[in-house]
């Protein structure tokens, strides 16, 4: 097994031809060769038709980050609310989340991400330069998305790039698993309502909080906006809630087994999560709130959710309504009335 094979490719452009000879002429059935690398573009290039190694692979595996529940197991001695904050910053990359101890999150975050000498301070720059070379326009696009510009026209305007040039940049970022394209869950893949989000939590955090403040960080005048960070965690918590529902779905602990799950939006209205079973015509609408809610507030959110659900147009479907929150009072009463409601206590039980 040869790890970081991508760096060998960078060092010598003849590497694929050499390995073609090794595979074809030297190795026999006693050998099983594994090549791994962290530069995605270079490793995927090995599979291209014009590459000397084309047709010689017997399998490929694209490693993904660990999910929220794996990271929560790593921090099992820490409060789950702290783990949510850590995961919102680091995602499931072990190199990143293992830097945190979870003892004093705010202090650790400032030390690890906002110090010019910390390992995380320039990490996205190193990765982008290795993968892309000329990174200026990619920086602008990622910063635009991090600041809430999700439509192509919005991103282009923020970044100062012509809209007609955007697809090639977005395709590259999607291929690197840094950006994802989403459409409303009820729309076809060809929908023109597509939005783009930063897929990697650490890149999202870095472009939202670190990069725009580097001037202040480096002269010692930076102060963290914890309210803005809390709002950022709330958006990241939606993805954790999605993972939670996927786990419940696998275990048969929802009103029905869903086949697809995602966001829904139309104009200014949005529903955080919609889970569909098209065969049975059943749908679960879920709002996600990174807040401590009493029963009265929870009922208000669920009532608004019922009203918004009418806009989705699934008129003859059987509808269910749910809410995921940081903490939630009155869960028993709400569940008795047919609502599906959960908070971090339920996340904890699922991990246990």
What is the per-residue pLDDT across 93-137, written as a single tens digit (0 to 9) for each?
Answer: 999 999 999 999 999 999 999 999 999 999 999 888 888 877 899
Query: What pLDDT band is residue 147 in, cutting at 50, 70 and 90?
Result: very high
- 186 CB contacts (<8 Å, ≥6 apart)? 264, 274, 276, 312, 313, 314
Query: What pLDDT band is residue 328 in, cutting at 50, 70 and 90?
Result: very high
Under DSSP, the state recorded for 118 is S
> Per the structure block, which two tokens stand in for 96?
């990143």
> Per the structure block, which two tokens stand in for 9?
């490719």
What is the per-residue pLDDT across 242-289, written as a single tens digit (0 to 9) for each?
Answer: 999 999 999 999 999 999 999 999 988 999 999 999 999 999 999 999
Under DSSP, the state recorded for 262 is E
What secondary structure, in 3-state letters, does 203-238 show? HHHHHHHHHHHHHHHHHCCCCCCHHHHHHHHHHHHH
> Per the structure block, which two tokens stand in for 352?
């246990």
Number of other CB atoms surrounding residue 97 within 10 Å: 23
pLDDT score of 152 more than 90: yes
Question: What pLDDT, on a 0 to 100 scale, did the predictor assign at position 5?
Answer: 94
Query: What are the φ/ψ torsions at residue 55 (nearest 5 degrees)?
Result: 85, 0
Pick the CATH number of 249-351 from 2.60.40, 3.40.1350, 1.10.30, 1.10.760: 3.40.1350
Q: Map out the domains of the chain as residue ranges.
A: 1-63, 69-227, 249-351
> Per the structure block, which two tokens stand in for 282?
């059943």
Question: What pLDDT, on a 0 to 100 scale, did the predictor assign at position 44?
Answer: 86
- 203 CB contacts (<8 Å, ≥6 apart)? 124, 142, 178
> Per the structure block, which two tokens stand in for 109?
């975050």
Distance (Å, whole) CA 71 – CA 262: 22
SS3 91: coil
Distance (Å, whole) CA 99 – CA 81: 17
**β strands within the chain, DSSP E:** 179-182, 195-198, 260-266, 269-277, 282-293, 318-328, 340-342
Query: What are the φ/ψ torsions at residue 340 (nearest 5 degrees)?
Result: -100, 110
What is the per-residue pLDDT across 39-65, written as a single tens digit (0 to 9) for each?
Answer: 888 888 898 889 999 989 889 998 889
Q: Is 184 left (phi over 0), alpha (psi -120 to 50) or beta?
A: beta
Distance (Å, whole) CA 102 – CA 125: 26
Residue for token digits 């529903």? 271
Number of other CB atoms surrounding residue 348 within 10 Å: 14
Angle formed by the axes of helices 344-351 and 80-90, nearest 10°? 90
What is the per-residue pLDDT across 62-82, written as a single tens digit (0 to 9) for each?
Answer: 888 999 999 999 999 999 999
Angle formed by the axes of helices 344-351 and 226-250, nearest 10°? 50
What number does CATH give the domain 69-227?
1.10.10.10
Tell how strand 195-198 and strand 260-266 pair up.
unpaired
- 183 CB contacts (<8 Å, ≥6 apart)? 189, 191, 193, 194, 195
What is the per-residue pLDDT across 295-327, written as a single tens digit (0 to 9) for each?
Answer: 999 999 999 999 999 999 998 999 999 999 999
On whether the CB atoms of residues 37 and 5 are closer than 8 A, the answer is yes
What is the per-residue pLDDT across 173-229, written as a single tens digit (0 to 9) for each?
Answer: 998 889 999 999 999 888 889 999 999 999 999 999 999 999 999 999 999 999 999
């Amino acid at each position: 097994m040869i790890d970081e094979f991508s760096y060998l490719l960078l060092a010598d452009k003849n590497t694929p031809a050499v390995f073609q000879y090794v595979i074809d002429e030297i190795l026999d059935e006693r050998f099983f060769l594994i090549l791994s690398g962290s530069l995605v573009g270079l490793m995927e290039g090995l599979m291209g038709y014009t590459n000397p190694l084309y047709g010689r692979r017997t399998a490929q595996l694209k490693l993904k980050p660990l999910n929220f529940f794996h990271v929560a197991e790593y921090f099992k001695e820490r409060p789950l609310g702290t783990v949510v904050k850590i995961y919102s910053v680091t995602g499931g990359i072990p190199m990143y989340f293992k830097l945190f101890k979870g003892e004093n999150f705010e202090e650790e975050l400032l030390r690890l991400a906002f110090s010019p000498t910390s390992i995380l301070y320039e990490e996205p720059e190193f990765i982008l330069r290795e993968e892309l070379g000329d990174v200026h326009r990619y920086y602008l696009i990622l910063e635009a998305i991090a600041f809430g510009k999700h439509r192509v026209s919005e991103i282009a305007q923020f970044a100062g790039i012509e809209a007609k040039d955007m697809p090639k940049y977005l395709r590259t970022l999607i291929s690197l698993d840094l950006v994802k394209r989403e459409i409303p869950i009820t729309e076809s893949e060809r929908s023109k309502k597509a939005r783009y989000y930063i897929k990697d939590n650490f890149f999202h955090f870095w472009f939202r909080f670190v990069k725009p403040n580097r001037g202040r960080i480096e002269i010692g005048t930076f102060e963290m906006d914890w309210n803005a960070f809390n709002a950022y965690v709330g958006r990241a918590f939606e993805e954790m809630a999605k993972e939670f529902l996927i786990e419940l779905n696998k275990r048969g602990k929802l009103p029905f087994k869903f086949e697809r799950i995602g966001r829904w939006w139309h104009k200014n209205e949005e529903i955080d999560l919609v889970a569909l079973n098209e065969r049975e015509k059943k749908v679960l609408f879920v709002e996600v709130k990174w807040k401590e809610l009493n029963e009265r507030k929870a009922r208000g959110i669920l009532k608004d959710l019922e009203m918004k659900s009418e806009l989705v147009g699934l008129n003859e479907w059987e509808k269910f309504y749910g809410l995921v929150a940081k903490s939630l009072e009155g869960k028993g009463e709400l569940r008795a009335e047919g609502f599906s409601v959960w908070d971090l206590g339920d996340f904890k039980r699922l991990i246990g």
